[in-house]
Structure 1
């Protein structure tokens, strides 16, 4: 009987080693995946954040420039255009620039885009941000 017990111990050792190595491999893979995921997430977040920041900065510069051009105008339409421009500037200035976890970012960006399109319509200028960037020679 001693030989049966000895072979059972050997078999148990092999099974336990297989389970232990599988567990260690899983843990190592999980830790490596988490580490790589954080690195990739930061990279993606930085790239996406830079694109949104560039877009919103374009809208801000656009609105500020048009406001400067129209502020001394006596045209009847200038007053409505100025109010729309000031509204666009106000929305952009209210962005929480320092909060990377801001939950309503997408909603606010959509509000800015809608106000930009409305402003462009009043000014009779193209409202496609990508066309404006490509025409001005901006690059990232």
Structure 2
């Protein structure tokens, strides 16, 4: 092998090594930045989701408060079946683990609360639905 081909081989090898080192450096930078932005996005999603769940549970609690006020004023206003379903709904909401965000049962528990709420509403023959916080476009429409 002559010195020219040896120099060309060294040049190619250095070029490949430089390319690989730049790739590794870029990967490390991207990974580090991804961890930071992933945590920030995760925190934001968690905050929004927690707020939405709290708002929905608050809606159900408000309905229960109204129904319990009616029961205090007139215990015979609702059938015993309806009163029992209201009590069960209240217990479901009270048992919801607000301070345990990693509890794997929260989604099923929320579904059970929604189902029991629909049962109470059906027994009362009222149509109540939690529709969430209106979006900014909905607020503009209402204001007109």
Does residue 5 of structure 2 align to residue 4 of structure 1? yes
Answer yes or no: is the 8 Å Cα contact 2:89–2:116 preserved in 1. Answer: yes
SS at match of 2:79: helix
Give every structure 1 segment of 4 or more consecutive aligned residues whose post-TM-superposition deviation is greater than 3 Å. 1-4
Written as runs of structure 1 = structure 2, the 5 A alignment for 1:1-140 is 1-75=2-76, 77-130=78-131
**Is 60-69 or 107-116 further displaced after alignment?**
60-69
CA RMSD of aligned residues (A): 2.1
Deviations 1:99-136 (A, max 9, x none): 111111111111000111111112222131128x77xx
Unaligned 5+ segments in structure 1 are none
Deviations 1:17-54 (A, max 9, x none): 00110111112112212221221111111111111110
TM-score relative to the length of structure 2: 0.82
TM-score relative to the length of structure 1: 0.84
Deviations 1:47-66 (A, max 9, x none): 11111110011101211221
| Matched pairs, number | 134
Relative contact order, higher structure (CA 8 A, sep 6+): 2
